[in-house]
Structure 1
């Protein structure tokens, strides 16, 4: 289905969604995939304002941080489309700080947030999978934690009727033709090209007139 000009799109997640937005300016979308999506949708409307777009990404967030601000940062805005991108920090903190986010607890928390959103808003849900493009040898070890976490994200999305944007697959395929650092210099945070690829993947899933391909 196409996004309509009357829609309110809300994006929430970690630094990949935040992308340097000005938190003192509610209209700031940062310089990442949210901004790219907004540009594309607004260009399509011509002289119209296009859909309202809100960025509530916060760098460093794990799923539990999202839960602590879900009412004020999601529900209270009454969005019609909610996009969630979370998970990489739940993995990363295990390796840089020894802070464990058990996958079953992570999944339960994410499932609870998605279910609450459906129940309270009847909003369309979109979930972007976490991803990693290792640029150092030690990052290869992160998949031990990230792979089952990605599976958990997919289960929570499926269980709540969410559309899924497979950023992990999109960027992995792109890395077959380019250096990983060209897409995510530190393996986690996308370059402008990486953000554009995520935006294009979101648009293909969410703003398409054709049925979504199977994940």
Structure 2
């Protein structure tokens, strides 16, 4: 499906989506993959204004935080495409704060958000999988929680006909050729290169006919 200038693309998630955006400025897109996507769309647009891009990422969010603000931050904006990236904090908080997010409850919550969005907006749904590039032995233990959570994201996406951007696979493949510090120094938060890889993976899934690097 080709993105047009009539589309409104809304992105919601945790700090990877937030990427330092100015929350007092509704037009701020942060410095991450959302901005990369918006810049690519602007570079390839014709004489028109291009699609509207909205960033509603908030650092530290778990899936339950998304649920508490979904109406105001998603539904009320009437987007035509909604991209959700969530899950790593649901895992992280287990290990640094002992705050549990049972996978079945996580899946049910995410599935409910996707179902409500499809029902209320008839919006195109996109889900980006959580990823981790471990930088310590302790972080490698997170996969005990994150791997089944990623499976839950995939099941929820399939159940609600959402397209899936496999950031976990994309970042893992990149880590076979590059140092983790080039991609996500703390294992979670991407560098500019890491964000560009996520943006490219998003285009490959959502608008595969488009050149993600126009003019390059």
How does the TM-score come out when normalised to structure 2? 0.96
Q: Which residue of 2 aligns with 1:199?
A: 199
Matches within 5 A, 1:16-165: 16-165=16-165
Cα shift at 1:189: 0.2
In the TM superposition, residue 166 of structure 1 has moved relative to its aligned partner by 0.1
For residue 208 of structure 1, report the CA deviation from its aligned partner.
1.7
Question: What is the alpha-carbon distance in structure 1 between the residues aligned to residue 209 and residue 9 of structure 2?
Answer: 18
Give the distance between the partners of 1:98 and 1:163, measured in 2 at CA.
32
Separation in structure 2 between the aligned mates of residue 78 and residue 31 of structure 1, nearest angstrom: 24
Runs of 4 or more, structure 1, over 4 Å off, are: none
Q: Which moved more, 1:201-210 or 1:177-186?
A: 201-210
Counterpart secondary structure, 1:4: coil
2:187 corresponding residue in structure 1:
187
Of 131-140 and 38-47, more deviation after overlay is shown by 38-47
- Residue 197 of structure 1: SS of its match in structure 2? helix
- Hey, what does 1:167 align to over in structure 2? 167
Q: Distance in 2 between matches of 1:101 and 1:164?
A: 22
Q: Take 1:179 and 1:95, find their aligned partners in 2: how far apart are those partners?
A: 24
Q: Deviations over 1:78-110 (max 9, x none)?
A: 000000000000000000000000000000000
Tell me which moved more, 47-56 or 137-146: 47-56
**CA-CA distance at 1:48 after TM superposition:** 2.6
Paired residue total: 210
SS in 2 for 1:125: strand
The more displaced of 83-92 and 177-186 is 177-186
Unpaired runs of 5+ residues, structure 2, are 211-216
Aligned to 1:54, the other structure's residue is in SS state strand
Stretches of structure 1 lacking an aligned partner (at least 5 in a row): 211-215
1:24-78 deviations in Å (ceiling 9; x for gaps): 0000000000000000011100443210000000000000000000000000000
The alignment's C-alpha RMSD in Å is: 0.9
In 2, the alpha carbon distance for the partners of 1:204 and 1:51 equals 18
**How many Å apart are 1:137 and its aligned residue?**
1.5
Distance, in Å, in 1 between the alignment partners of 2:198 and 2:12 is 15
Q: TM-score, normalised by structure 1?
A: 0.96
